Amino acid sequence: MQLEVADRGIVYLADRELEGYAAETPAQSIGIIAVEQGYATLRITHQWGPANFTVAISDRAPEADLTGYEDIVEIGYQSMSGHLEMTGFCYDEHIAFPLPPLPAGPGEYRIRYHVKGMDTEGTEDATDDHYLQIWPSPPRDPVVVQTTTQTLHYFLAPEKHEGNSGTTRRNDHGRPAMRSALQREWRLRRNPGTDWSDVRERLVRLTADPGADAVFGSACHRWTLQPPLGAGDLAQIEAQLRTELPGEYQSFLQQAGAGGAGPAYGLFPVRRVNGRWQWEGDGANLTDLGTLNQPFPHVEAFNPADALPAPPDEEDFDSSEAFTAAEDAYWEQYNTIVYDHRHSIGLLYLCHLGCALREALVISGPARGQMWGDDTAGGAGFQPLVDDAGNPLGFARWYRRWLDAAEDQASHEAH
Long-range contacts, 94-100 (Cβ 8 Å, 24+): 94/186, 94/189, 94/190, 95/4, 96/190, 97/1, 97/3, 99/55, 99/57, 99/134, 100/57
Mean pLDDT of the chain: 85
User: Of 66-80, 85-99, 185-199, which one has max mean pLDDT?
Assistant: 66-80
pLDDT of residue 274: 86
Greater pLDDT, 355 or 125 = 355
pLDDT band, very low/low/confident/very high, at 94 (cuts 50, 70, 90): low
Select from 216, 237, 254 the least CA-distant residue to 292: 237
pLDDT of residue 201: 94
Cβ atoms of 221 and 262 closer than 8 Å? yes
pLDDT of residue 403: 96
Find the range with the poorest average confidence among 18-27, 177-186, 248-257. Answer: 177-186
pLDDT tops 90 at residue 23: no
How many DSSP H helices and E strands does the chain contain?
8, 18
pLDDT of residue 160: 63
pLDDT tops 90 at residue 107: yes
pLDDT band, very low/low/confident/very high, at 103 (cuts 50, 70, 90): very high
Residues of the chain with CATH 3.40.1580.10: 196-414
- DSSP conformation letters of 306-319: GGSPPPP-GGG-SS
pLDDT tops 50 at residue 367: yes
Phi-psi region of 354 (alpha: psi -120 to 50; beta: other; left: phi over 0): left
Cβ atoms of 297 and 366 closer than 8 Å? yes
pLDDT tops 60 at residue 191: no
The residues facing 11 across adjacent strands are 42, 88
Percent of the chain at pLDDT > 90 equals: 56
What is the assigned CATH class of domain 2-187?
Answer: mainly beta
Residues of the chain with CATH 2.60.34.30: 2-187
pLDDT of residue 22: 67
The arithmetic mean of pLDDT across residues 290-297, rounded, is 92
Find the range with the poorest average confidence among 21-25, 179-183, 310-314, 411-415. Answer: 179-183
User: Of 22-31, 114-123, 138-147, 303-312, which one has max mean pLDDT?
Assistant: 138-147
The arithmetic mean of pLDDT across residues 32-60, rounded, is 89
- The vertex-145 CA angle with 141 and 151, nearest 5°, equals 100
Tell me which CATH code domain 196-414 carries.
3.40.1580.10
Cβ atoms of 361 and 347 closer than 8 Å? yes
Q: What is the pTM of this model?
A: 0.56
Q: What's the rounded Cα separation, in Å, for the pair 259 and 252?
A: 9
pLDDT band, very low/low/confident/very high, at 179 (cuts 50, 70, 90): very low
Q: What is the phi/psi pair of residue 285, to 5°? A: -70, -10
The arithmetic mean of pLDDT across residues 355-376, rounded, is 94
The arithmetic mean of pLDDT across residues 390-402, rounded, is 95
- The vertex-327 CA angle with 383 and 314, nearest 5°, equals 110
Q: What's the rounded Cα separation, in Å, for the pair 94 and 128?
A: 21
- What are the residues whose beta carbons fall under 8 Å from the beta carbon of 315, sequence distance 6 or more? none
The arithmetic mean of pLDDT across residues 49-53, rounded, is 88
The arithmetic mean of pLDDT across residues 370-396, rounded, is 93
pLDDT of residue 159: 59
pLDDT of residue 377: 87
